[in-house]
Structure 1
């Protein structure tokens, strides 16, 4: 009986050792960051991402449904995602950064099956000071722990452009779309 337990103990210790080999030691993992501009396509594995446009305002609709109003601003980033390779990634995350802070998208993005495309809006709720210098980051959580490729798209909003946009669109309504999957032609 104790011999069976010793084999089980060895198996458990081997599992912990393997986990320990892959665990991070507090250092950032190796990352591959591709930087592109608005309107330019960027690649993450078998998928191409393009930021088409942005919209800002304090009132948000998702298609035709009222979502809410915010005392800060909604930033809707319109993106086209095309899966033109053989596999679709299911481990995507999207976020934003500005002024040393990170922002989560209000909803996850949809990554289409191979041969398809989708144009959809990614919405962030941010402070007015965070509009200038805002960067959207698409992250594909790779199956290997130590390699997470990223696509960073600087929206190219300067401080002057942000002030002008806030003056013009501060109380505007943002109509975001969840998009519709289409055949990639």
Structure 2
């Protein structure tokens, strides 16, 4: 009978653990994880998770994005496509927590990430009893907007939420999208002023 030294056993355990960590870190494995659920919602309808309630309150199309009304012209964000601003509120019920990263997805399969500034890149839940308003700004292709969906994806090792969220932003067709893009090109609709996050007591 072969006797294994303690050092050999420890090294073996370390390799097994490393293999498990690498497997968890593989994005393909995360996407195929059957333990994750996908919860769908729609604009204006509260979407309730384990420790929070998230509501998309407004979607705005624009050609320019400003951080403040006094922005220098050189600091104004402009695009050859169109900006999509998604405003939302999160009510917390437990300790403050990052719910997940934000992204936009279309029926055509395109995925867009938000600007790291001046908008939010993730949805966060405030302390219990409070509701925080937030906004995320995306630069998108105006020819591919049908089925525009806000995705909230928890990060492993950071958030304990095991559910992904998909919120339909109410753009059922390219015709509807084209109308919104046209309005964003008018003098009164082309600018979007990013609102500052607001914290209030949940009513």
TM class by smaller structure: 0.7 to 0.9
- SS of 1:129's partner is coil
Q: Deviations over 1:136-165 (max 9, x none)?
A: 0112235599x7311101112122211111
Contact 1:44/1:150 (8 A) holds in 2: no
Say how many residue pairs are matched. Answer: 179
Q: CA RMSD in A?
A: 2.6
- SS of 1:100's partner is coil
1:3 aligned residue = none
- How do residues 1-185 of structure 1 correspond to structure 2 at under 5 angstroms? 7-8=6-7, 10-21=9-20, 23-24=23-24, 26-27=28-29, 28-30=32-34, 31-64=36-69, 65=71, 66-83=75-92, 85-90=93-98, 92-98=100-106, 99-107=108-116, 108-109=121-122, 111=124, 112-141=126-155, 143=157, 148-157=162-171, 158-170=173-185, 172-185=190-203
Q: Kindly tell me: are residues 144 and 55 of structure 1, through their superposed partners in 2, closer, same or farther at Cα, counting changes over 3 Å? A: closer
* Deviation, structure 1 residue 7: 4.4
The range that moved more, 28-37 or 169-178, is 169-178
* Deviation, structure 1 residue 8: 5.0
Contact 2:101/2:123 (8 A) holds in 1: no
- SS of 2:176's partner is helix
Q: Tell me the distance in 2 between the aligned counterparts of 1:133 and 1:53.
A: 16
Consecutive unaligned residues of structure 2, counting only runs of 5 or more, are none
- Report which structure shows greater RCO (CA 8 Å, sep ≥6): 1
Task: Provide the TM-score with structure 2 as the length reference.
Answer: 0.77
- SS of 2:122's partner is coil
Q: Tell me the distance in 2 between the aligned counterparts of 1:144 and 1:61.
A: 31
Q: Which has the higher strand share?
A: 1
